[in-house]
Homo-oligomer: A and B are copies of this chain.
Amino acid sequence: MEKIYHLLYPMRVVLISARDGGKESIMPAAWCFPLSFDPPMFGVAIAKKRFTYSLIHKSKAFAINLASPDMRGGVALCGSKSGKDTDKFAATGWKREEGKRTVMIADAPASIECEVEREMETGDHVVFIGKAINVVRRREAKGLYHTGGTEFVEI
């Protein structure tokens, strides 16, 4: 299968964090995008088999956490292990920050907490469409942009 979507790369990688009951996880996602200016809304497309999918599906909330170049090792780790059997916060060493509805990553330059308004299947992914209910800006930093495979550029 030809990777047509690569035509739009490099794309910024963010870290999606979510929690349901006592379970939580973090996954890197490049398919995350604004959908409205006012009210502020965002979408993220996630494969249904992902552990993070089930957490967002059940809790109806997720956080978009920016990834800075110094977080690159953790991004790779979060992308290669499942939250089913790995505590992503312990494995990366990142700290939790409690949001209004879900867990955020305190090490991220900024986090946008979203409440899910709609969930929709699009081919082999599911798109969660959420309204921003909380924004935390912690520091200025370059972003990590995915160029394909395990390659990133800093922008």
Contacts and interface: CB of A to CB of B under 8 A. Distances in A.
Contact of A123 (B14, B36, B45, B153): B36
Contacts of A127: 35, 43
A52 to B, nearest CB: 17
B7 A66 contact: yes
Interface residues of A, number: 44
A91 to B, nearest CB: 25
B124 A38 contact: yes
Given A124-B36, A125-B35, A8 B14 contact: yes
Interface string A24-62: 000000011111111111110100000000000000000
A4 B39 CA distance: 10
A35 B31 contact: yes
A8 B112 CA distance: 10
A11 interface: yes
Nearest to A41: B123
Given A4-B40, A129-B122, A10 B45 contact: no
Given A11-B12, A155-B155, A5 B124 contact: no
10 contacts: A1-B38, A7-B112, A7-B137, A8-B33, A33-B43, A33-B45, A40-B123, A41-B123, A43-B43, A43-B122
Interface of A: 1-5, 7-8, 10-12, 14, 31-43, 45, 64, 66, 110, 112, 118, 120, 122-125, 127, 129, 131-132, 135, 137, 145, 153, 155
